[in-house]
Amino acid sequence: MNTRLVIAQFDEGAEHFDSWSVTRDERMLRGLAEFCGVTPDDELLDVACGTGAFALHSATLARSVTGVDISAGMIAVARKNASDRGLGNARFVHQNVEGLGFEDDTFSMVVSRSAFHHMARHREVFAGMVRCCRPGGTVCIQDIMAYDEEKTDRFFERMEVLIDRSHHRTYTKRDFFELYRDNDTKLEALFESESLLDFHDYVDHVAQTDKSRGEIARLLDEGLADPDIASSFAEKDGRLLWKRRVCTIKGKKTVQPRKPSGEGY
């Protein structure tokens, strides 16, 4: 994945992304905040925050919220949104989430929403999330999840890359479990759900060229002609809906036992 191309895409499309129906879905934002258990005592870090939708929602519930994202364009929109809403307890930082520039044990809660599928170095990102979280604090990921059937998964990975060049890989539930297992974070809860995305609305959440639209249309026709692939689509009120599984998972950072003092050394 070309990082410069990804940044350029997000910078150019920040305003459009901010107005996308999925970005601003209050029901989803509220549901994630409830799942994480955001309280008035929390100091929350939103990793790969985009234009700040979840961070700003959480700022109405938490003591403070910090959002971080690789795209300066996204951060600029997030800062404007925070100012427009008068949310003085929300701040936004422009930096690469592969190297989070915060001290260890800074935040009581660290969350990433709908972002891990963009990350080639997802293990480094998650390790950084855990490092920044206080012992006993909450670490939560919400993202799309790979299909169980290999053929279906391969098809939709091709589709995701055609629609959004910043897409890297859709991870499996096992991939998410391993992140928690390998980073001293005890799993607490898992919620699997199915989103029905308006396919053409999803295509348009990223700027498309005539060439990319043609390639997407051809691949869509191929998929709809295959019963195994077509079962992941539905039609309602003249709209083509894409069935996409979502995994929401949280854990607690382990409180490491204090090492005995080195008497006699």
CA distances from 191 to 141, 143, 245 (A): 11, 11, 11
Domain annotation covers residue 42: yes
Residue 183's CATH number: 3.40.50.150
Asked if the model's pLDDT at residue 243 lies above 80, the reply is yes
Query: What is the pLDDT, as a whole number, of residue 264?
Result: 38
**Taking residues 118-130, what's their average pLDDT?**
96
Which domain, by its residues, includes 14?
Answer: 3-146+166-196+245-253
Domain annotation covers residue 129: yes
Domain annotation covers residue 201: no
Query: What is the pLDDT, as a whole number, of residue 205?
Result: 84
**Taking residues 223-244, what's their average pLDDT?**
96
Asked if the model's pLDDT at residue 35 lies above 90, the reply is yes
Name the residue with higher pLDDT: 16 or 113. Answer: 113
For the chain, the residue count is: 265
Q: How confident is the model at residue 92 (pLDDT cuts 50, 70, 90)?
A: very high
The chain-wide mean pLDDT, for the chain, equals: 90
Domain annotation covers residue 151: no
pTM: 0.90
CA distance 76 to 53: 13
CA distance 174 to 160: 21
Domain annotation covers residue 235: no
Q: Which has the closest alpha carbon to 135: 221, 3, 251, 14?
A: 251
Domain annotation covers residue 103: yes
Domain annotation covers residue 160: no
Residues 6+ apart with CB under 8 A from 219: 155, 158, 159, 162
Query: What is the pLDDT, as a whole number, of residue 233?
Result: 97
**Taking residues 150-160, what's their average pLDDT?**
97
Total count of domains within the chain: 1
Domain annotation covers residue 237: no
